[in-house]
Amino acid sequence: MDIDLAGRTAVVTGGSKGIGLAVVRQLAAGGARVVTAAKSSSPEVEALTSDGRVIFAEIDLADPSGPAQLIARAGDRVDILVNNVGSARARPGGFLSISEDDWLASLNLNLMAAVRATRAALRGMLAAGAGVIVITCSVNARLPDPAVLDYSAAKAALAGFAKALSKEVGPRGIRVNTVSPGPVATDLWLGSDGVAATVGQATGADPGDVQGQAAAQSVTGRFSRSDEVADLIVYLASDRAANITGSDFVIDGGLIPTL
């Protein structure tokens, strides 16, 4: 299915790797001008900037001023905002091991970065009477996991934020949806300090076994790929989904067992 985004300006938070990088790649392939940022660059995102269609900036999106700096790079109008940046730290020590600073850092990146980017982009969308906001949420918003307790809480808050905002701005031409992946084959899970490695170090298990056990919880028996999640996000950002708002789309290989 062709997605035509010619003439649109899109902003993606956390676009240097993983799901964000896949979204940047697919938005640009659809004809959009894409502005993205992350704390550090990557060879993959730098390669996308060669023709000028993708603009990358090194911005710390956990900094309260960071999301607004990114939106400002896009110019006067943002047609599509993909709030993707986030991070999960495994908490094998349980609730009491999560410090005050841990809680604040998790809420800041996983919730407030999206709130701040949305605040910065929304005024222009309201003036234009059109816009799309897609938020990368998580199955942990509805399937809280003590192994990522603070992340689960932040994502639940993010889901509530998106639903409430969709009701406010929907009558003014702006759509807001969330995409909730289960485990995805990215650094968040599989990196050297990702969930599998952290759990393995704490328990003595091989990280590959941790990954395998997590994958086995899905009906499909595997993690999702970044490009599969990006396909869904870019579809929701397009006019193909013009009457979809206030919805959450799960891509988890059947991990959540209930309706």
Whole-angstrom Cα Rg for the chain: 18
Question: Widest CA span of the chain, in angstroms?
Answer: 55
Q: Out of 8, 17, 67, 151, which one is annotated catalytic? A: 151
Q: If you count them, how many residues does the chain have? A: 259
Identify whether the C-beta of residue 225 lies closer than 8 Å to the C-beta of residue 26. no
| Inter-CA distances, 191 with 13, 35, 93, 103, 148, Å | 20, 25, 20, 22, 16
91: left (phi over 0), alpha (psi -120 to 50) or beta: beta
CA distance 215 to 253: 9
CB-neighbour burial class of residue 97 (10 A; exposed 0-12, middle 13-18, buried 19+): exposed
CA angle 247, 144, 117 (to 5 degrees): 50
Q: Are 10 and 35 in contact (CB under 8 A)?
A: yes
Which string of DSSP letters, residue by residue, matches 101-141?
HHHHHHHIIIIIHHHHHHHHHHHHHHHHT-EEEEEE--GGG
Q: CA-to-CA distance for 126 and 144, rounded, in angstroms?
A: 34
Please give the Cα distance from 134 to 131 (Å, whole number): 10
151 a catalytic residue: yes
Catalytic residues: 151
